Chain A
């Protein structure tokens, strides 16, 4: 959806990467390009300017940090800036209140309010098990009420019976009465589209809001919107206090900069995105993922570069040698854990991979979150030096001591030991030049590790495409993220290409089954 913007940034940063260092002038010229890209992406001018100003400060200050390539730093800063601008995690819809929860839909003509009202109704009914009613207050557009009635019937939710004589305000009041009488959990009020400059209609909206006291006021806006996004968002927010934004037509190929604009001027989260005309085509908005995609470092370029920046060269060499000789102890395991954390943890890495959103939920459900990395680290740190080198020493009483020392349970300790053993096995196999088979097993690790078998191992390159397992490749593998291979396998940006993930501690042999929700 944000592909064009991604392309834009890509070309900007391609230009940067070719240079060795980044001067203040470089930052300036890079940011001019970024600004142009934002404007072409329909980010509203004041928002683009604000963003650039905030980035510039950080970028110039940051360019002096040693050992990280300056262009990578700018990438990181722009990315973080976008994440920040797109906002933290969206708050869930406020529907778990004393019923009926009232949701008021508002927006310009043709922005997609009615369709979205239908989608929301279906979602709340199916996923939240709510008893939902929809009510159209649109007395302006011909057949608007019929449209919502049809959508309501399709979703099998309640529909406010139509009447030709009532005003929108009267309809709203009647909808609330009926919702109370018939014990609906949620009532969704669809309103007529209106221009923010239409004072009479904005007054009407205010009156509806006052009378119904909604728990959510959702501004429904078109992802195709241009510069006007700021004006509209501001005007609606000033008039009725928007609580969230729904961005429609995100299945189109617009750059969608309007999302950034509206998020910024209202300060309210983008709660959902419309991804099609079907009633189930409503998705939660994921700011992290979107920012990653905007930069197109969404896929593995960023991952590889971040990893490359985070990992000391000698350390990688040392690891490579050890791996080649088949040695891999708890200290090495600990190292890998820490590298993983440096790269932004599991969620950081997964968030950068397009399409992983759904996976991530499964991973979370399986207890595979970032706190797990910390737990694992604590466990290894509670081992003695001897234990770390000779894991065989870990008998039941030692494990009990380690659990107590790290504030975890013996099961947790067992799990870490098991993961270590599996990883060591893989390393050995590769060390003995078992080659492709070993690597494949390693990459398949995640799929079999209890992440829900979501097919992460799929799309593996055939053995023929595997690079030779020489010391050089080992070195890269040991960094957890083979850069050269990344280029080949991650290239298409799909989930299929996630080599190395299986080899990352914490993902490999995790017994997620035990924690899986029922």
Chain B
């Protein structure tokens, strides 16, 4: 099942889906103030935040149509606005063979889905013919290392782990050595969840990041924040703080198979412009998909992705 399907299914099942709140909104050629407010609210209900929602609503209100406007045209126009905003964030996670190992560091607050994503990523790269190693950098939480080992078993991937309560940075360094010696293509390092206002824990993460760079000054090659798709506006504070200590290069959004709509992606794109490498759409090892701006915009507004233009023109612009 495509992630777009899963997302749409999720949205369909949720009680206050945007699709519903939007239908019946757009009937006239000009959007009246009430409709605009309703639209803004629907966008807010997807976690876009009131300011971004207002900006998008204004943008939509400024759209002019040749000939008669109808609900479908308005909806399409909205989806296109979103698509345009999100297309620059599309950047599937790829590893080059320039570095061996290519090091991926996963960071984020507690319970966001880091460990699960480690397992899913291991499977993804193996499917691409790469050799993978996992490092259990969460030495803090009870049974965190066992959890990652579970994923190692499931995906048949070696897991480097240390003692509970041990030094995470030292473990990361050791994992880099071992991956290097074994000629492993990809090393994925899990870290303990931490709230971004806990300075001592953020310092520990900065140290992990530093130590990785000591072994190979180009590493980590990807430093990715794993965000829970149900998160609200705090995601912005999270991304800001993690970017500071771990020089983020991208994001992965999990749990988009639920009733949350992940509108925070739009707000984050506005603020940080970090690519959304992947989205998590379930607990299974294969429930990880590349982020597609077109699919997401369509699912959020409740139209078929086919109705939207391919993203090619956006890429042309960049080139």
Contacts and interface: CB of A to CB of B under 8 A. Distances in A.
A234 B142 contact: no
B150 interface: yes
Interface in B73-104: none
B260 A228 contact: yes
Interface in A143-187: 143-144, 146-147, 149-151, 154
Interface in B39-61: 41, 44-47, 49-50
B197 interface: yes
A36 B237 contact: no
B270 to A, nearest CB: 15
A258 B231 CA distance: 10
Interface string A204-232: 00000000000000000010111111111
A110 B113 contact: yes
Contacts of B110: 110, 112, 249, 277
B248 to A, nearest CB: 18
Interface stretch (A39-47, A50-58, A450-458): A39-47
A210 to B, nearest CB: 23
A42 B150 CA distance: 35
B137 to A, nearest CB: 15
A151 B232 CA distance: 29
A352 to B, nearest CB: 24
A251 interface: yes
With a 10 A CB-CB cut-off, give which of A40, A41, A222 has the most chain B CB atoms: A222
Contacts of B113: 109-110
Contact of A109 (B9, B143, B234, B283): B283
With a 10 A CB-CB cut-off, give which of A40, A154, A257, A258 has the most chain B CB atoms: A40
Chain B facing A: main interface SS: loop
Nearest to B232: A226
Contact of B255 (A108, A140, A143): A108
Contact of A150 (B9, B143, B258): B143
A228 B311 CA distance: 29
Interface in B216-243: 228, 230-235, 237-238
Contacts of A257: 232
A68 B222 CA distance: 59
Contacts of A110: 110-113, 228, 255
Nearest to A257: B232
B44 A142 contact: no
B106 to A, nearest CB: 14
Contact of B146 (A112, A143, A151): A143
A124 B235 CA distance: 34
A146 B143 contact: yes
A66 interface: no
Contact of A42 (B46, B234, B255, B259): B234
B258 A224 contact: no
A62 interface: no
A299 B260 CA distance: 35
Contact of A224 (B144, B234, B261, B283): B234
A111 B195 CA distance: 14
A463 interface: no
Interface in A405-463: none
Chain A facing B: main interface SS: loop
B233 A195 contact: no
A358 interface: no
B15 A253 contact: no
Given A39-B50, A108-B258, A252 B195 contact: yes
B41 A45 contact: yes
Nearest to A234: B15
A109 B226 CA distance: 14
Nearest to B147: A143
A196 interface: yes
Contact of A40 (B50, B112, B154, B231): B50
A144 B144 CA distance: 9
Given A197-B14, A235-B259, A150 B109 contact: no
A224 B259 contact: no
Interface in A342-368: none
A164 to B, nearest CB: 12
A231 B142 contact: no
Interface in B252-298: 255, 257-261, 263-264, 283
Contacts of A129: none
A226 B264 CA distance: 9
A224 B232 CA distance: 6
B195 A251 contact: yes
A222 B230 contact: yes
Given A224-B109, A253-B237, A143 B143 contact: yes
With a 10 A CB-CB cut-off, give which of A109, A146, A226, A229 has the most chain B CB atoms: A226
A46 B16 contact: yes
Contact of A252 (B15, B46, B109, B263): B109
Complex A-B, nearest 6 residue pairs according to Cβ-Cβ distance, in ascending order: A142-B150, A226-B232, A110-B111, A42-B232, A147-B143, A143-B146
Interface of A: 36, 39-42, 44-46, 108-112, 118, 140-144, 146-147, 149-151, 154, 195-197, 222, 224-232, 234-235, 249, 251-255, 257-258, 277
25 contacts: A39-B44, A42-B232, A45-B44, A110-B112, A110-B228, A142-B149, A144-B147, A150-B142, A154-B142, A195-B10, A195-B257, A196-B259, A224-B109, A224-B232, A225-B232, A226-B232, A226-B233, A226-B235, A228-B259, A231-B259, A234-B15, A249-B109, A252-B195, A253-B195, A254-B232
Given A39-B44, A42-B232, A45-B45, 9 more contacts: A140-B283, A142-B154, A144-B147, A147-B147, A195-B255, A224-B232, A252-B109, A253-B234, A254-B232
